[in-house]
Structure 1
C-alpha cells in the first residue's frame, strides 16, 4: 500500500501542521472503519478529565486496530466529535502524539455526546 498526501498551496486555505487536506491510498488490500470510540476504561467508566479520556480513546483505538492486525500507522482518516470547542487543541495534540507526528486528513466537530460524561469521541479509517 502507498499513501500520498495532497496539500495544495494555491487556490485554497493552508492546512496547519497537524493535518493534510487529503490522503490518497493506492493499492490497499483492506480497509477498517472504526466506529466512534470513547474514553472509557475496560469497565465502561469514563475518564474523569479530558486528558484521561484522550489517553483512553487512543488506547482503545490501538486495541481495536491490533484486533485487525493493524496499528496507528494504518490510520488514513480521523474524525473527532468534541463536546466543547475548547477541547480542540488538546484533541489535536493527542492525535499528533498518538500518530507519532504523522499527519492525516482530519475533521473536528463540536456536538452533544450521548452522555455528558463523554468529552470526546473519535472514529478512524485505517487501510492496509
Structure 2
C-alpha cells in the first residue's frame, strides 16, 4: 500500500505540522473502520484524568488494529470527539505521540458524550 499526502500550498489555508488536508491511499486491499473508542480499561472503567483516558484510548486503538494485523502506521484518518475545547491541545499531543509524528487528516469536534465520565472519544480509519 502506498499513501500520498496532499497539502495544496495555494488556494486553501495552510496545514499545520501535525495535520494534512488529505491522504491518497493506493494499492490498499483492506480497510478497517474503528468505531469511537473511549478511554476505558478492560473492565470498562474510564481513566480518572484526561491524560489517563488518552493513554487508554490509544492502547485500545492499538489493540483493535493488532486484531486486524495492523498498527498505527496503517491509520489514514482520525476524528476526535472532545467534551471540552480545552482538551484539544492534550488530544493533539497524544495523537502526535501515538503516530510518531506522522501527520494524517484529522478532525476534532466538541460534543457531549453519552457518559459524562468519557472525556474524549476517537474513531479511526486504517488501510493496508
Displacement, 1:3?
0.2
Does residue 66 of structure 2 align to residue 66 of structure 1? yes
Matches within 5 A, 1:15-30: 15-30=15-30
Cα deviations by residue, 1:20-43 (Å, 9 ceiling, x for unpaired): 000000010100000000000000
Matches within 5 A, 1:30-49: 30-49=30-49
Displacement, 1:115?
0.4
Q: Distance in 2 between matches of 1:73 and 1:18?
A: 15
Q: Distance in 2 between matches of 1:120 and 1:9?
A: 32
Q: Distance in 2 between matches of 1:15 and 1:92?
A: 14
Displacement, 1:9?
1.1
Matches within 5 A, 1:77-116: 77-116=77-116
Aligned counterpart, 1:119: 119
**What do you get for the CA RMSD once the two structures are aligned?**
0.4
TM-score where L is the length of structure 2: 0.99
Does residue 21 of structure 2 align to residue 10 of structure 1? no
The size of the alignment, in residue pairs, is 128
TM-score where L is the length of structure 1: 0.99
Displacement, 1:69?
0.4
Cα deviations by residue, 1:79-99 (Å, 9 ceiling, x for unpaired): 000000000010000000000
Name the SS of the counterpart of 1:25 in structure 2: strand
Gaps of 5+ in 1: none
Q: Distance in 1 between matches of 2:9 and 2:86?
A: 28
